[in-house]
Structure 1
């Protein structure tokens, strides 16, 4: 999701605005095709069945529409917009709206009370079905939704800061039956580029297994999965916003920063194995107020890698200077309105001006934008793609294809497949699937 930056001088290349991957035909998984029929319309329903029903529309690739209707697994039809999908998932007798769904449900006291099959609803704009948290700190939610015209039913993620800043409230269906829920493999989270740790000349990545909290190293350029990965730590599910910042200790090995969700402290971990709590060094406090920490290399010219981060409460973008990234007194505000963006990642210099650039996904539109350093102000953004809100864990990994242009990794949320995209414009046609179970 966030990466250490590999700077490169690039020739100018025209940008093609495309989606993240080629469209796949609708498919039906064995689980959803054989979903147990244990509820009747308007009756009690288990959480597992709610998730199965929502997954049915995701597997069918049901297009968004405020006027069209599509069947549930038993043949009853529901309107194919956001509230229609939640109505279908809850097996209501009608297609409710964002305004009327509260008539069938009860608002919860906190986002932390959410369970699979509950809903996140802003009655004025949008509603989604909650699937689960990707981490123990509850910083990112996996959801299923019908998003907007031009998209299909999908599974994706929303950050907690986005949910809060956009007025989403947690609701529980009044007729849900509390029962064990089988949620699909959560895959990997905090995918982070860390440079070449294995000495083979190709950039590596680290990632946390969401189900266990174990930290793994994957060797490039293909980052093959569970059989070849190397476990290098455990207990990392308590950490959020893991970010590669390059070598800040002077030992020639890339270091990482991470925020401990339990106390909000910022810690530095030294590579190549990033030893755990006994070896980490605390370098800041109050960092749980920030999100989308992103390494951008040295943009201040002092020879030390810098860091940018978004303040959750305001959406303001700040720059922090390394190696200690001193807090509120030393930070520099360089932007505002950044709470609409997800999946910020440093990508290196793809514009040829010698300064590291970043990529960001606009959650409201799903568009992918490039921002030029060193200040990454809004006027410099260039749209280079659409439909990127279907992808998670965007990670700049430097040049892994040998064309001297930085490449990008991203995980398709609905399938957990890992894709590689070629720079500098990262078009959908360049997508190569290189892994699964991410």
Structure 2
């Protein structure tokens, strides 16, 4: 990727400072961001200012599901579990997992330096010491890690079927291939990524080169993602194949859900809090509209044994409190006593032991619409919600069993999806199918409606952003990064009916990690907050509107943030 015009300097001046910076190496304060604790090289340049591009998918809830131009997923009938990383990369021509096939394909996706060529002498590196021809069949050969033919050439559209077995529409899974091999210049090979809709009419692919029958996708020669219609593809003569050496992935533990930042001093702006070893630090948000800044403050020590830390206003006093597990089993709440001049918290209040039964915690959210965030978790297959019965200064909860059957649901997100004033349960079934259970809870009973389906293919997102209102319409949107590409699925739901509309925003996000959710400059639209290379905190202010999702050039909040082993949001930190 070429360097953006607004790339930051590669070397940053070391600086200290910031009120309350009592610990060695503690991040300091400076307007526009925290300066570096030490000189440090830029690992990669972050993305430039971005402008959205509308997806061609219809807004129909049953079809708006997935990721338009870049999705990985299983068939809707049999959900895939989240794939576990391969313990070791497969050798050339050796058995290879579906997740490794997709991961290998991602290495070339979006790389404009890999121009299309049928010349074997222009083969491009795969990152593992081998080179593959940069055309459609060479790209598929690279993803599958195929050996060379006896001629020294990579497989082509005529020979690729030799390494596979024919499969039908409902057998297609991530890492399978579709090949048109008629011996003409219009032959093509594509790598199946996932279905766009539950009825299996449209699907996403990774490909190099493209065909005019594609539904959407860039008309580019470098490797990219596109959407095709299954009927049009098969009518054109494509056949689906499964590589003989592909193997299924083993399920992995669900990743931690992303969450939103807390407002610890009650000034209406969300602050950045983190634990560095045993020390709690809060970077007070001092931003104004259009300009971001923070002020770092050391709060206290003694937090080393506190895990799964979350932030929410538990007692309804307008300030976010800290919720965490001491030793993993005892739930405690530290109520914020912060003011405009000092960040502080009262002694913990104890909400009992036995909480380690929950193998999955949902983000703190107000499921019954009473204005107070509740604590929800899944124990095995059972969903429980601990209704928040706190009053200012005193915390309490009341546990309620909701239902069973949640064993396959992972990666929970928190938000009021249909904008009815009650948070809904949003989660991934098997890691790939996005579903929403609308809250039907009342003051007396916690309950949720039958799931509404937002499609498969969501496992393409290796990083999910928190559910947040990026366009300022009052509804939380779904955002994620697939390789280097940022996508936002605009929430088009109405009360009782959920739907989204996927939009590609921009490329260049491969090095950005640990996304946080916040309207950082308090303008009514959530911004993208993330760590470039894991250490540099940056904010991309939302400039989105009703027609386009877009974000301004990043504003820099300094380096040194990797000191924090836990960041505090509405979702569990570890």
TM-score normalized by the length of structure 1: 0.48
TM-score normalized by the length of structure 2: 0.39
Of structures 1 and 2, the larger Rg is shown by 2
